[in-house]
Amino acid sequence: MLMSNTDRPARLHYMANGFRVLAPGDHVLCAVSGARIALGDLRYWSVQGQRAFATAALASEALRPR
């Protein structure tokens, strides 16, 4: 039986110039807002924190030094 990746979160390894899929799925969750991000729309992440962000503003706020 084939498993569908629809409506399943993916597990990713974030790298400087992209990401590698560790477990198949169709989306990830934003680390700040919890919003679903389709893998095709994923543009912002933290390599060190291994976290995804829905927007540049959320990423900037989360990664701003305190």
Q: Where do the structural domains in the chain lie, given as residue ranges?
A: 11-63
* Euclidean distance between CA atoms 21 and 42, whole angstroms: 13
Task: Identify the H or E element spanning 15.
Answer: strand 11-15
The predicted pLDDT at position 2 comes to 57
* Euclidean distance between CA atoms 53 and 66, whole angstroms: 18
Pure H helices in the chain? 56-63
For 20-38, what is the mean pLDDT? 98
Provide, rounded to the nearest whole percent, the portion of the chain with pLDDT above 90: 88
The predicted pLDDT at position 3 comes to 61
* Euclidean distance between CA atoms 61 and 63, whole angstroms: 6
